[in-house]
Amino acid sequence: MFLFKNGTFELKSETGTTIIERKGNTQIEKSNGFNYYSDVEWITDYKYELKNHRNHKGEPEKEELNSIYTVEILKMTKDSVRTKLISNYSDQSLERTLKIIKLK
């Protein structure tokens, strides 16, 4: 599982394509010409939290200041990762599939 802790992934949604790069304890989400940063804290090999969200200038995101997103890996294939996302401010969850671009 440790292979998925570092790599580049692609997420396609109704709002466009987001490239996600995860290196060590940092995740960068690249979308619409901007980079957004989060700290990654692995809970288990299959679950991690995204915290301390920062905008493209590296400044804290005001609306995300206390937000924590918990991501659980549900299914893995050689080409994709199926995840479930929950937050500390909502009871709803979101399942999505990320295309694996590169594993490091």
Per-residue pLDDT of 12-38, as tens digits, reads 998 899 999 999 899 999 998 889 999
Per-residue pLDDT of 44-103, as tens digits, reads 989 999 998 888 777 777 777 789 999 999 999 999 999 999 999 999 999 999 999 998
Q: What pLDDT score does 57 carry?
A: 79
Number of domains the chain is built from:
1
Q: What pLDDT score does 40 carry?
A: 96
The Cα angle at residue 36 between residues 30 and 37, in degrees rounded to 5:
120
What type of residue sits at position 29? E
Distance, CA of 91 to CA of 10 (rounded, Å):
25
**CATH number of the domain within which 88 lies:** 2.40.128.20
**Quick check: helix, strand or coil at residue 55?**
coil
Query: Based on the number of CB atoms within 10 Å of its own CB, is 24 exposed (0-12), middle (13-18) or buried (19 or more)?
Result: exposed
Q: What pLDDT score does 53 carry?
A: 87
The boundaries of the domain holding residue 26 are 2-103
